[in-house]
Amino acid sequence: MAERALSAGGALRGAWAGLGGATERKHGLPPILGRDTRVLILGSFPGEASLAAKQYYAHPRNHFWPLLAALTGTPLATMPYRERLDALRGQGIGLWDIYVACSRRGSLDGAIRDAERGEVTRVRRAAPAVRLVCFNGQTAARALRAWRDAGYATLALPSSSPAYTRPFAEKLARWREIRDFLERARTR
């Protein structure tokens, strides 16, 4: 059964939904996982651009694809989406979000309400080789304890979102820990 993550009491949530227009229930993207996935990167929930395109990190100013390109040495940001996913799979990297459904107006994590978390057991079945679970930003990192308690190594990363205005080089310095992990895994 999926966990329920409640960010406010039911009465507050209902009142919030009635202010300035209704929120709609949204469903996220399917996980990108394979039997050989060793690193799973979890975001919070896809933004409006990603939901419309049905692609992870579709907003053109999001740093996700340039960060992963720098880590993998592959020009991911310039590749068609399906090729990006194939390249990540080839590197042992998977994608998903901590929330599989929620109510939200707009794209900001702070607007997420009545969120339903993805199941750790689903990942364990689909991708048994996962050893490291990374969290893209603070909202995603709210799920860190559940994944650590399930036996995974965890890593909280600075958000790739354009709303998180840290310099790219600063974000990349932390994200390089993914590359280091994968390199250590290859030499074992």
Whether residue 62 contacts residue 161, with contact meaning beta carbons closer than 8 Å, is answered with yes
Whether residue 92 contacts residue 186, with contact meaning beta carbons closer than 8 Å, is answered with no
Report how far residue 160's alpha carbon sits from residue 180's, in angstroms, rounded to the nearest whole number: 19
The SS3 of residue 93 is: strand
Active site residue 62: yes
The one catalytic residue in 23, 37, 50, 62 is 62
Tokens read off for 107: 């794209």
Output the CA–CA distances (angstroms, integers) from residue 22 to 7, 16, 37, 52, 93, in the order listed: 17, 9, 38, 19, 36
Cα angle 6, 11, 15 (rounded to 5 degrees) comes to 105
**Residue 165 class from Cβ within 10 Å (0-12 exposed, 13-18 middle, 19+ buried)?**
exposed
Alpha helix locations (H) across the chain?
Answer: 10-18, 48-53, 64-72, 81-91, 120-126, 138-141, 144-149, 168-187
Which residues have a catalytic role annotated?
62
